[in-house]
Structures are given as C-alpha cells and as structure tokens.
Structure 1
Amino acid sequence: MPDVLVRNIEEKTLNNLKKRAERNNRSLQAELKSLLELYAGPELEETKSMVRDVYMRYKATGKKFSDSAEDLSKDREG
C-alpha cells in the first residue's frame, strides 16, 4: 500500500489530531487514515448508483419495502 507524507502541519492542527486519535482510541496514523478514507470516499453519484443497484436487486426478488413512516407510527403508538 502506498504511503503519503504531509509536511508543514501547524502545531495546533497536529495537537488537535492527536487529541482526536486519543478520543477514538487510535494511533495518530490510524486516525489520519480513517479521516482520509472518510473524506475521499465515493462521490455522491457513485453512492446513488450503488444504492440503486442494491434496490434493483432487492426489487427483482419480488419483495417489497415496508412503508417506514407507517412502521414508525405503529412503534410510537404502543
């Protein structure tokens, strides 16, 4: 797997990242990797396409999605 080197990070930024890593029980490297993967994840159109594909596969089974609003109303009633 390739490595990335980031130079000249402000001390305050580095300290904030270290604190964040500690709160998440991660090393600094693991925290940075997690943040990069989060922010460099799939674009909106790619995500929509993935959801559409899953929906079409589910729909092809003949099953139907329940009405979540109706389900929530029932849950709240009792």
Structure 2
Amino acid sequence: SIPLEIFEHILDFLRWQRKDLYNCALVCRAWHHHSQLLLYSRVVVSSRAAYDSVARSSIRDGRSRQYLAMTRTLLITDTFP
C-alpha cells in the first residue's frame, strides 16, 4: 500500500488544476481532505453571484467555513456595483 503522504505530495503538484483537484476529492476519503485544502487555499471571486455563494457557504456550512479559514489567496476579478 502506498503511504498517504505520497498521494498528498502528488496532489500538491495539481495545486493549479482546480478541475483535477475537484475530481481527486471525489476519489476516496483519504484524498478528499488534502484536495479540499488545496482547492480552498486560493479562492477566486469573479462575480457578485460567486461572492454571494462563498458568503452563504461560509455561514451555513461548518465544513466550508473550516476550509475557507485556510484560504491564503483571495482573488477578486470583477467590480461590484
């Protein structure tokens, strides 16, 4: 059996491939946590709807709130009225 640390190291190489990380998070429980940490480390808000979605999930979902607390980069690419 391959140690989990090896899989986590491989997932680290996918840091910028968000779709691939999302798919990896669905593979098994062992990959889910590390994939989610990487996905939430950089949050991109590209519209008012995206902002509202992030805000709602941080209020309603404790797990999302935990992952959002790990966010290191917040990129806002749209101007809000």
**TM-score interval, normalised by the smaller of the two chains:** under 0.3
Higher relative contact order (CA 8 A, sep 6+): 2
Larger of the two Rg values belongs to structure:
1
| Length-normalised TM-score, structure 1 | 0.22
- Larger proportion of helix: 1
- Larger proportion of strand: 2
| Length-normalised TM-score, structure 2 | 0.22
